[in-house]
Chains A and B, each alone.
Chain A
Amino acid sequence: METVTLTIDGRQVTVEKGKTVLQGAIEHGIKVPYYCYHPGLEIDGSCRVCLVKIEKMPKLQTSCSTLVAEGMVVSTEAPDVVEARASVLEFLLINHPLDCPVCDKGGECPLQDFAYSFGPNESRMEFPRRVFDGEGVKADVDFGPTLMLNRNRCILCTRCVRFMKEVDGDAQINIVDRGYGSEIATFQDEGVHSLISGNLMDVCPVGAITTKDYRFKSRPWDNPEAIDTICTFCERGCNTTAWLRAKPEWAKGALLVRTTPRLNPDVNGYWMCDIGRFDYHWIEGDDRLHRPLVKMEAGLQQPADWREATAKAADRITAAGTGSLRFLISAHASLEELFLIGRLGSALGTPEDGVAISWRAREKPQPADTKFKVPPIDAPNVNGARDMGFPVKASSDGRPDISAFRQQVEQGRVKALFVFDPGPPGSIGDVSWVSQARASGKLALLIVQGALITDLARAADIVLPGASSFEKDATYVNYQGRVQAASRALPAPGDAQEDWQIFVNLGLALGITLGYTDSAHVRADVAAAMSSNAAYAGLADLAFARPVTAQHWLQASNPSERWKWDVMFQDLPPVKFAGRPDPSSIPTVIPLTERD
């Protein structure tokens, strides 16, 4: 790597050649604010807030657009820089509505943060602020199926314009009108229609673009816990952060309030798709299985406890003949779960064609030259199943080819079928033929283990409630063959258990001792079994994130900017929320004041 050494604020710093002064400053923890610059987008140089002084240059320069050079002497603290920076922030704020108390971005807003740190103490603006309401224009508008746009809050950094042009590949957003009247707009106010539109909320440095999903749902200081995990909704495995809301016991609503992308240059960059971002509501939805279900003789499914359900399952399997049990596994099964299924199968004597791996593949229409392609396969672990020796057969359109297995079931040659479907609804692919075979009596025993009460689960004799990928530590192999860890963010609801545990218990009931007491233990054995595959090196030592209380609510600030706080310590305003409030500090009696 060719490097350049320059001086910033009297400090010698070494930066990779070709980087900008701003990037160099950020890398070395030197405070420079910015809005139009985004590391995932091209340089624009329009917000002017990153001005610095560079020796031998007559005017202040925007650090975002100035390349580092050997021997360059930069000052970010010279009085004229401080003044110019404050003046640009003053300009940005004179027409900003300052409706922070009702703005979704409030608390994780770079405009707030930088205005606190670098802005002027007070505004000298005495005129009414610019508002876009009027003459057929509305300030706060619908911005497509997923987003809302508030033009009054916009500071015209054009990050969203550039995101759509450069990353999405379909330049749906642009600025209309000019100068003081400039506003963000889409053609005929159609809004943004894109599979990766949610990223616009991340790139927006103010509350101008918000998602309908998260709008008015929570405030940053109400989301004290953030868990770094991965998205399992397709084969890309975007690195994400799951945000949990601190919720009083009696409050309604979900704990998981949003997922946001986490920088991984090799997998997803700064982005994630809308499916991963918005389609998480099933996890705490009404269709979750909370207790095992056992079908009574009358044909009704009744809740049961685990001992009863596991024993019943073992009895029925034994009655059908243990060697006759067949497995239909969703490619949402993690490496650990696949490994346990493999062990169960070999102990029971399941033949090689007695296991099928299934998933859903969908066309996901996107512009031809998009830089962020959402893969068609809606499953995180097709490659993992293939690596572990499971029969993974895909047809040319990406769909699974399980026709032989299906034929066995439809012809009544399968006596007992175990289906494992832990994923989002429908992600196992078409399994209506299983329910039909059960209904027609061609299939005598159907056991379903999964997270949701689906049509398939309704047809089952025994239903075992498992965990979603947000509720267990598990590992998956993405489409690049990269082993990644999804961390447990939430407990599984009700009596539902983590799936490795269900397999271990079922094994015990069948007289097979798998001998595991936690998922790390399983993972160690997977690592041992896969030791010949270099991609799996380090699997046993993979780190799983734990819900961490955001010690500093700004440190876990604006998700797309989080990396910034990791590398760059800012002069922060006083800590406004650190951890959960201490219950002992809350007075139990509200003192009454006497009235006259």
Chain B
Amino acid sequence: MEPILTRYIQESNSYTLDFFLKHEGYQGLRKALATQPNDIIEMVKASGLRGRGGAGFPTGMKFQFVDKKTPKPKYIACNADESEPGTFKDHVLMERNPHLLFEGCLIGCWAIGAKMAYIYIRGEFYHVQKVLESELAKAYAQGYAGRNVMGSGWDCDIVIHRGAGAYEAGEETALIESLEGKRAQPRIKPPFPAVQGLYDCPTAVNNVETLCNLPCIMINGAEWFAKLGPEKNGGPKLYCISGHVKKPGVYEASMNTTIKELIFDRAGGIREGHQLKAVIPGGSSVPILLPDQLDIPASFDSVQKAGSMLGSAGMIVMDETTCMVWAAMNLMHFYKHESCGKCTPCREGGDWLWKILARIERGEGQMRDLELLTSISNNIAGKTLCAFGDAEATPPLTTLKHFRGEYEAHIREGRCTVPADWRAKGVAEVAH
């Protein structure tokens, strides 16, 4: 499949408005503004576009759930808080193709009847903010945003808001809280944002990549989009491949492509002299897939069928030098650090899990720690306010499921038995 979203990102000036206009820029918006909003929502539904942020929720449905009859204003909140470990696709789009995002935001606003879109960027994306702001100013100056968008008489504003740097701000209700100036902590659902979101008004929260797909749906039609991938998994998809591969990076592909193809063909395969050990297919929050499970299409549905999730399509590839206890500990350090602290199991349990994992990794663990890890993880999963709890419980559970032997070896031997090359090089400890 020819790249669609990332087609021009190698061009040095791909981010500029001039370049964008020369390459079908804002043509999707022009078409959208001549279409009834309801028809756009039907188109998006027919296209089978699913949210690219992680949950894979059908975007058309999300737009439809937004309360159209309310007298309140409605909003699009673009989730650009890309912070899932192993995920780095949204910032490529924003840095190299910012106008595509603006166009997507505007189409989304037109479809749900909003006049304001907020782009909530991750706190660490200072450079992205600079690109977005300068390009947005150009879009405003040339009438592609703001008053009288493209001469249609319709006003729509785009506001760029950079957060303060919290993983949890990527949870849709926490993102809304943060946009409102509060701590980025999730709200109780229901009410869902589509009913009561930003400033208690109906809000559609969409990922950057999701919104970037709207222009090509408008231009080429829903059927074309749906046919790009397997059933219910239409459209182009960005895959972030990282870890022990020869060519890590962002690859755009159809969801017909198998994980194996992505790793071995697109990313060049495992580095020389090593073998694949495990893949986390959708960002750090999803269960591990083993090498024999990878000959499946990298689509939402088939990865789920294989017992994991496509998530944010952040594929973390690990070869045989990776100690799974260390990997779980490392991920758990991330989760305990990023827990917002609002609800009890995640706040208290994350740190506890990390302490136990660190103890095992140091070689001071005991066999009963393994039962404890399982029990604590199960006590967190499904008991928390947002999905963070499930994500946090995943690393210990999935590594224990597939690599229990490594844990037992740590405990038995009192040291790591995996031939990790960084250990061999004498790196004593990864600083935390």
- Does B bind A? yes
List residues of A whose CB falls within 8 A of some B CB: 43-49, 51, 59-60, 62, 65, 83-84, 87-88, 90-92, 94-95, 124-125, 127, 130, 155-156, 174-175, 177-182
Q: How far is the CA of A348 from the CA of B194 in the complex (A)?
A: 76
Whether A48 pairs with B340 at a CB distance below 8 angstroms is no
Q: How far is the CA of A47 from the CA of B168 in the complex (A)?
A: 18
Q: Which residue of B lies closest to A86 (CB)?
A: B379
Main SS class of interface, B? helix
| Cβ of A372 to closest chain B Cβ, rounded Å | 23
Specify which chain A residues have a CB less than 8 angstroms from the CB of B384 in the assembled complex: 48
List residues of B whose CB falls within 8 A of some A CB: 166, 168, 183, 188, 336-345, 347-352, 355, 372, 375, 379, 382-385
Specify which chain A residues have a CB less than 8 angstroms from the CB of B382 in the assembled complex: 59-60
Whether A180 pairs with B166 at a CB distance below 8 angstroms is no
Q: How far is the CA of A498 from the CA of B384 in the complex (A)?
A: 58
| Cβ of A130 to closest chain B Cβ, rounded Å | 8
Whether B183 pairs with A156 at a CB distance below 8 angstroms is no
- A84-B383, A127-B352, A175-B183 known; A47-B344 Cβ under 8 A: yes
Q: How far is the CA of A474 from the CA of B339 in the complex (A)?
A: 55
- A47-B344, A48-B343, A91-B348 known; A180-B336 Cβ under 8 A: yes
Which of B168, B338, B349 gathers most chain A CB within 10 Å? B349
Q: How far is the CA of A87 from the CA of B355 in the complex (A)?
A: 18
| Cβ of B391 to closest chain A Cβ, rounded Å | 14
Q: Which residue of A lies closest to B349 (CB)?
A: A91
Q: How far is the CA of A124 from the CA of B375 in the complex (A)?
A: 11
Whether A48 pairs with B344 at a CB distance below 8 angstroms is yes
- A65-B188, A127-B355 known; A46-B385 Cβ under 8 A: yes
Specify which chain A residues have a CB less than 8 angstroms from the CB of B343 in the assembled complex: 45-48
Contact of B347 among A45, A125, A174, A182 (CB under 8 A): A182
Q: How far is the CA of A83 from the CA of B379 in the complex (A)?
A: 8
Whether B188 pairs with A95 at a CB distance below 8 angstroms is no
Q: How far is the CA of A403 from the CA of B372 in the complex (A)?
A: 78
List 20 additional contacts besides A48-B345, A175-B341, A182-B341; criterion CB under 8 Å.
A45-B188, A46-B343, A46-B385, A47-B343, A47-B344, A60-B383, A88-B344, A88-B383, A91-B348, A91-B352, A92-B344, A94-B348, A95-B348, A124-B372, A175-B183, A178-B168, A178-B338, A179-B338, A179-B347, A179-B350
Specify which chain B residues have a CB less than 8 angstroms from the CB of A178 in the assembled complex: 166, 168, 183, 338-341
Specify which chain B residues have a CB less than 8 angstroms from the CB of A60 in the assembled complex: 382-383
Whether A125 pairs with B344 at a CB distance below 8 angstroms is no
Q: Which residue of B lies closest to A182 (CB)?
A: B341
Specify which chain A residues have a CB less than 8 angstroms from the CB of B344 in the assembled complex: 46-49, 88, 91-92, 155-156
Q: How far is the CA of A43 from the CA of B188 in the complex (A)?
A: 9
Q: How far is the CA of A475 from the CA of B166 in the complex (A)?
A: 57
Q: How far is the CA of A63 from the CA of B363 in the complex (A)?
A: 42
Specify which chain A residues have a CB less than 8 angstroms from the CB of B383 in the assembled complex: 48, 51, 60, 84, 87-88
Whether A88 pairs with B345 at a CB distance below 8 angstroms is yes
Specify which chain B residues have a CB less than 8 angstroms from the CB of A83 in the assembled complex: 379
| Cβ of B329 to closest chain A Cβ, rounded Å | 15
Q: How far is the CA of A125 from the CA of B351 in the complex (A)?
A: 11
Whether A87 pairs with B345 at a CB distance below 8 angstroms is yes
Specify which chain B residues have a CB less than 8 angstroms from the CB of A59 in the assembled complex: 382
Specify which chain A residues have a CB less than 8 angstroms from the CB of B342 in the assembled complex: 46, 156
Q: Which residue of B lies closest to A174 (CB)?
A: B183
Q: Which residue of A lies closest to B382 (CB)?
A: A59
- A45-B385, A47-B343, A92-B344 known; A180-B350 Cβ under 8 A: yes
Main SS class of interface, A? loop
Q: Which residue of B lies closest to A88 (CB)?
A: B344
Subset of 26 A-B contacts with CB under 8 Å: A45-B385, A46-B344, A46-B385, A48-B344, A48-B384, A49-B344, A62-B188, A65-B188, A83-B379, A87-B379, A88-B383, A91-B348, A91-B352, A91-B379, A92-B344, A127-B355, A155-B344, A156-B342, A178-B183, A178-B338, A178-B341, A179-B336, A179-B339, A179-B341, A179-B347, A180-B339
Q: How far is the CA of A125 from the CA of B375 in the complex (A)?
A: 13
Specify which chain B residues have a CB less than 8 angstroms from the CB of A181 in the assembled complex: 341
Specify which chain B residues have a CB less than 8 angstroms from the CB of A127 in the assembled complex: 352, 355
| Cβ of A187 to closest chain B Cβ, rounded Å | 15
Specify which chain B residues have a CB less than 8 angstroms from the CB of A43 in the assembled complex: 188
Specify which chain B residues have a CB less than 8 angstroms from the CB of A88 in the assembled complex: 344-345, 379, 383
Q: Which residue of B lies closest to A128 (CB)?
A: B355
| Cβ of A179 to closest chain B Cβ, rounded Å | 4
Q: How far is the CA of A94 from the CA of B345 in the complex (A)?
A: 11
Whether A94 pairs with B352 at a CB distance below 8 angstroms is yes
Give 9 closest A-B pairs by Cβ, nearest first: A182-B341, A87-B379, A179-B339, A91-B348, A180-B351, A45-B188, A179-B341, A46-B343, A65-B188
Q: Which residue of B lies closest to A89 (CB)?
A: B344
Specify which chain A residues have a CB less than 8 angstroms from the CB of B385 in the assembled complex: 45-46, 48
Specify which chain A residues have a CB less than 8 angstroms from the CB of B168 in the assembled complex: 178
Q: Which residue of B lies closest to A179 (CB)?
A: B339
| Cβ of B34 to closest chain A Cβ, rounded Å | 43
Specify which chain B residues have a CB less than 8 angstroms from the CB of A182 in the assembled complex: 341, 347
Specify which chain A residues have a CB less than 8 angstroms from the CB of B339 in the assembled complex: 178-180
Specify which chain B residues have a CB less than 8 angstroms from the CB of A48 in the assembled complex: 343-345, 383-385
Specify which chain B residues have a CB less than 8 angstroms from the CB of A130 in the assembled complex: 351
| Cβ of A560 to closest chain B Cβ, rounded Å | 21
Which of B168, B338, B341, B344 gathers most chain A CB within 10 Å? B344
Whether A156 pairs with B347 at a CB distance below 8 angstroms is yes
| Cβ of A170 to closest chain B Cβ, rounded Å | 16
Q: How far is the CA of A174 from the CA of B338 in the complex (A)?
A: 18
Whether A156 pairs with B379 at a CB distance below 8 angstroms is no
Specify which chain B residues have a CB less than 8 angstroms from the CB of A51 in the assembled complex: 383
Q: How far is the CA of A20 from the CA of B180 in the complex (A)?
A: 27
Q: How far is the CA of A388 from the CA of B122 in the complex (A)?
A: 68
Q: How far is the CA of A182 from the CA of B343 in the complex (A)?
A: 11
Q: Which residue of B lies closest to A181 (CB)?
A: B341
Q: Which residue of B lies closest to A91 (CB)?
A: B348
Which of A65, A94, A124, A174 gathers most chain B CB within 10 Å? A124
Q: How far is the CA of A277 from the CA of B385 in the complex (A)?
A: 36
Q: How far is the CA of A49 from the CA of B355 in the complex (A)?
A: 24
Specify which chain B residues have a CB less than 8 angstroms from the CB of A62 in the assembled complex: 188
Q: How far is the CA of A466 from the CA of B372 in the complex (A)?
A: 66
| Cβ of B358 to closest chain A Cβ, rounded Å | 10
Specify which chain A residues have a CB less than 8 angstroms from the CB of B340 in the assembled complex: 178-179
| Cβ of B347 to closest chain A Cβ, rounded Å | 6
| Cβ of A44 to closest chain B Cβ, rounded Å | 8
Q: How far is the CA of A44 from the CA of B385 in the complex (A)?
A: 10
Q: How far is the CA of A91 from the CA of B350 in the complex (A)?
A: 10
Q: How far is the CA of A130 from the CA of B183 in the complex (A)?
A: 22
